[in-house]
């Protein structure tokens, strides 16, 4: 079929928030213990459902650790390659029975606790001060979720005073004693609970009960520290819960969270056609969620006369097949090229929705349904790492602009199936674009295109309607993620099986996008 893409640099959507390249660290599997800290006999495995006999335990050599004891390799990839701007912590479901007071002070005296969300025991060797120390080293803004399950408002207030207090008060002074410095942790972003709507959540509530409680908490928290940004707990963005919680909270918060995962990888060869489609078209559901959520936010702002903008924190997203990444294996999922194409579509969604999405946190940053997998002595980058890397590197700081795509439609099954009933069948080509202006006033355009056809390549005219700059001929910088096999994976011993190829090519206003590929074009 024929396809074309029109980019309209004079029709800006909004600036791409740097926080859409954020991450998430939860005390789950080998995320913290094994990913951020080396695993040790007392903290590995985090869950006894995956026992590791101490005599089989390989220690991480001290040379691979920072002086503070953190894994240097993970920290360097997150800081120097992905430039992750913000990280959400400590959960996730974990937070709903987390007592932050167990995780501060001398490490030998910290309480080991049963861990209720994922099973096993929590050593509390990584707590608030370690998280902040790690964030500082990694140049990352912390985003902390408070416990609205077993935790009280008083616990939350104490936590915020401990982190941000500058006065001569008990919890601020305790922080000074623990860290040996006067400087506060200065945690600006706080989330009001995790998935409080979910039946798996400790302290599940109805939307009405949550909204009433979160309102009281938000009121008290802003009395303690008016400078913090509060994120209310949303669901999928478009549910009954989202509507009610926004109505009840919109004047008390700064953002509303959404969680969504797409999955269903192409692992069963007999299901490849169906599964490939469900995998790569899955993120279209996220765009629908965001569009409806934006309308719900504005509806609530209208009825409550709230002038200030309320943004979306898509603070858990990613590709997760719950039959593959399970609690038994610490949610360790090995990703295919098809999953990477889905990841690129996820990021296209966040760029296209730049006017409302302020934060997006990939779930999760290491080992747990993650682009990075570690061993005691090294790491490899999964297929889904590469779209994140390219978007973070080339779309950050730009202004998202309107793109019009004419392409064949996908007629197969999508998940959820009703998305295509409402929105129409998805386009095989999925694109977003940003414009960047240098200090000298020169323009650069970046165009991200996912070809979600498994079999067909497209030769696509790319028209850029720009006054005052010529993008008709010259050279283009090309970054392409492709493999002959949509099920190809990276792994130990085949770390670069699926990786990007970067080149410069002649540019004549069109490009051929290979079947099942992701391409990012940079035009200067
Ligand atoms: O990221 C894994 C889990 O998914 C989180 O703990 C929870 O918030 C979500 O259900």
Bridge partner list, 131: none
What spacing in Å lies between the alpha carbon of 92 and ligand 1's midpoint? 5
**Is 100 within 8 Å of 130 (Cβ atoms)?**
no
Residue of 122, 143, 332, 363 with the most ligand 1 atoms within 8 Å of its CB, for mutation: 363
Q: Which range of residues forms the domain containing residue 207?
A: 12-400
Q: How many CA atoms lie within 13 A of 11 on its CB side?
A: 11
**Ligand 1 pocket check for 91: Cβ under 6 Å:** yes
Residue 431: inside a domain: no
What spacing in Å lies between the alpha carbon of 200 and ligand 1's midpoint? 10
What is the structure's pLDDT at 420?
75
Residue 316 Cα: closest atom of ligand 1: 1
What spacing in Å lies between the alpha carbon of 91 and ligand 1's midpoint? 7
Element (H, E) at 92: none
List, in order, residues 6 or more apart from 20 with CB less than 8 Å away.
314, 347, 350, 351, 354, 357, 358, 359, 360
Helix pair 337-352, 385-394: axis angle to 10 deg: 30
Q: What is the DSSP string of 7-41?
A: EEEEEEEEE--GGGGBEE--SSTTSTBTTTBPP-T
Residue 418: inside a domain: no
Residue 4: inside a domain: no
**Is 289 within 8 Å of 260 (Cβ atoms)?**
yes
The residue whose CA has the least distance to atom 7 of ligand 1 is 92
CA-based R_g, the chain, Å: 23
Closest CA to 306 of 256, 359, 352: 256
What is the structure's pLDDT at 322?
83
Residue of 90, 91, 316 with the most ligand 1 atoms within 8 Å of its CB, for mutation: 316
Q: Is the dihedral of CA 3, 465, 500, 319 positive or negative?
A: negative
- Specify the 3-state DSSP secondary structure of 335: coil
Q: What is the DSSP string of 283-331?
A: THHHHHHHHHHHHHHHHHHHHHT--S--EEEEEEEEE--TTTS-GGGTT
**Ligand 1 pocket check for 263: Cβ under 6 Å:** no
488-507 tens-digit pLDDT: 999 999 999 999 999 999 99
**Is 195 within 8 Å of 129 (Cβ atoms)?**
no
In 215-265, DSSP assigns E strands to: 229-232, 255-262
Which regions of the chain are under pLDDT 50?
48-49, 51, 265-267, 269, 272
What spacing in Å lies between the alpha carbon of 469 and ligand 1's midpoint? 46
**Could you give the residue ranges of the DSSP H alpha helices within 305-413?**
337-352, 385-394
**Ligand 1 pocket check for 398: Cβ under 6 Å:** no
d(CA 466, CA 9): 6
**Ligand 1 pocket check for 92: Cβ under 6 Å:** yes
How many domains are there within the chain? 1
What is the structure's pLDDT at 43?
67
Bridge partner list, 478: 503, 521
The residue whose CA has the least distance to atom 8 of ligand 1 is 92
Residue 237: inside a domain: yes
**Is 144 within 8 Å of 155 (Cβ atoms)?**
no
Q: Just list the catalytic residues.
A: 195, 316
DSSP collapsed to 3 states, 254-290:
CEEEEEEEECCCCCCHHHHHHHHHHHHHCCHHHHHHH
Closest CA to 37 of 64, 71, 66, 80: 71
d(CA 393, CA 400): 15
What is the structure's pLDDT at 35?
95
Closest CA to 132 of 99, 166, 103: 103
**Ligand 1 pocket check for 339: Cβ under 6 Å:** no
**Ligand 1 pocket check for 115: Cβ under 6 Å:** no
**Ligand 1 pocket check for 194: Cβ under 6 Å:** yes
Residue 134: inside a domain: yes
Residue 171: inside a domain: yes
List, in order, residues 6 or more apart from 492 with CB less than 8 Å away.
375, 380
Helix pair 170-179, 153-164: axis angle to 10 deg: 50
> CA dist 379 to 52, 53, 81, 328, 501, Å?
19, 22, 14, 21, 21
What is the structure's pLDDT at 266?
41
pTM of the entire predicted model: 0.95
Element (H, E) at 130: helix 128-138
What is the structure's pLDDT at 41?
67
CATH number at 337 reads 3.20.20.80
Residue 456: inside a domain: no
Residue of 27, 90, 194 with the most ligand 1 atoms within 8 Å of its CB, for mutation: 194
**Is 163 within 8 Å of 175 (Cβ atoms)?**
yes
**Is 279 within 8 Å of 319 (Cβ atoms)?**
yes
Residue 26: inside a domain: yes
Residues in the chain: 524
Give the angle subtended at the CA of 380 by the CAs of 74 and 491, to the nearest 5°.
155
Closest CA to 379 of 72, 86, 138, 133: 72
């Amino acid at each position: 079929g024929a396809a074309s893409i029109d980019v309209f640099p004079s029709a800006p959507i909004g600036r791409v928030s740097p926080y859409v390249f954020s991450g998430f660290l939860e005390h789950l599997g080998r995320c913290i213990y094994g990913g951020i800290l080396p695993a040790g006999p007392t903290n590995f495995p985090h869950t006894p459902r995956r026992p590791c006999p101490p005599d089989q335990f390989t220690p991480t050599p001290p040379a691979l650790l920072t002086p503070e004891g953190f894994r240097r390799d993970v920290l360097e990839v997150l800081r120097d390659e992905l430039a992750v701007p913000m990280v959400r912590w400590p959960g996730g479901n974990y937070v709903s029975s987390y007592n932050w007071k167990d995780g501060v002070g001398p490490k030998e005296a910290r309480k080991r606790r049963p861990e209720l969300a994922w099973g096993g025991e929590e050593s509390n060797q990584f707590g608030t001060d370690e998280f902040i120390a790690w964030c500082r080293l990694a140049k990352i803004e912390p985003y902390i979720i408070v416990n609205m399950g077993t935790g009280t408002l008083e616990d939350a207030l104490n936590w915020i005073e401990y982190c941000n207090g500058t006065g001569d008060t008990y919890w601020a002074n305790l922080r000074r004693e623990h860290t040996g410095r006067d400087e506060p942790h200065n945690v600006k972003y706080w989330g009001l609970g995790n998935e409080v709507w979910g039946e798996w959540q400790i302290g599940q509530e109805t939307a009405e009960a949550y909204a009433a409680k979160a309102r009281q908490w938000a009121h008290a928290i802003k009395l303690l520290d008016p400078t913090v940004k509060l994120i209310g707990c949303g669901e999928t963005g478009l549910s009954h819960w989202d509507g009610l919680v926004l109505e009840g909270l919109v004047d008390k918060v700064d953002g509303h969270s959404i969680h969504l995962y797409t999955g269903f990888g192409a692992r069963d060869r007999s299901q490849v056609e169906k599964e490939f489609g469900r995998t790569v078209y899955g993120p279209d559901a996220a765009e629908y969620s965001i569009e409806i959520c934006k309308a719900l936010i504005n509806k609530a702002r209208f009825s409550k006369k709230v002038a200030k903008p309320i943004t979306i924190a898509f603070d858990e997203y990613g590709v997760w097949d719950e039959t593959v990444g399970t609690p038994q294996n610490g949610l360790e999922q090995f990703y295919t090229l098809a999953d990477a194409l889905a990841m690129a579509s996820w990021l296209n969604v966040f760029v296209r929705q730049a006017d409302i999405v302020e934060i997006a946190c990939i779930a999760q940053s290491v080992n747990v349904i993650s682009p990075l997998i570690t061993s005691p002595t090294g790491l490899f980058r999964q297929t889904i790492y590469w779209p994140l890397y390219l978007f973070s590197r080339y779309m950050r700081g730009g202004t998202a602009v309107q793109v019009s795509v004419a392409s064949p439609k996908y007629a197969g099954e999508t998940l959820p199936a009703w998305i295509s009933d409402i929105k129409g069948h998805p386009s095989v080509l999925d694109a977003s674009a940003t414009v960047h202006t240098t200090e000298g006033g020169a323009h650069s355009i970046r165009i991200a295109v996912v070809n979600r056809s498994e079999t067909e390549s497209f030769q696509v005219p790319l028209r850029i309607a720009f006054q005052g700059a010529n993008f008709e001929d010259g050279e283009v910088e090309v970054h392409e993620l492709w493999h002959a096999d949509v099920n190809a994976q990276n792994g130990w011993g085949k770390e670069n099986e699926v990786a990007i190829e970067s080149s410069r090519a002649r540019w004549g206003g069109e490009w051929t996008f290979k079947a099942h590929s992701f391409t990012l074009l940079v035009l200067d």
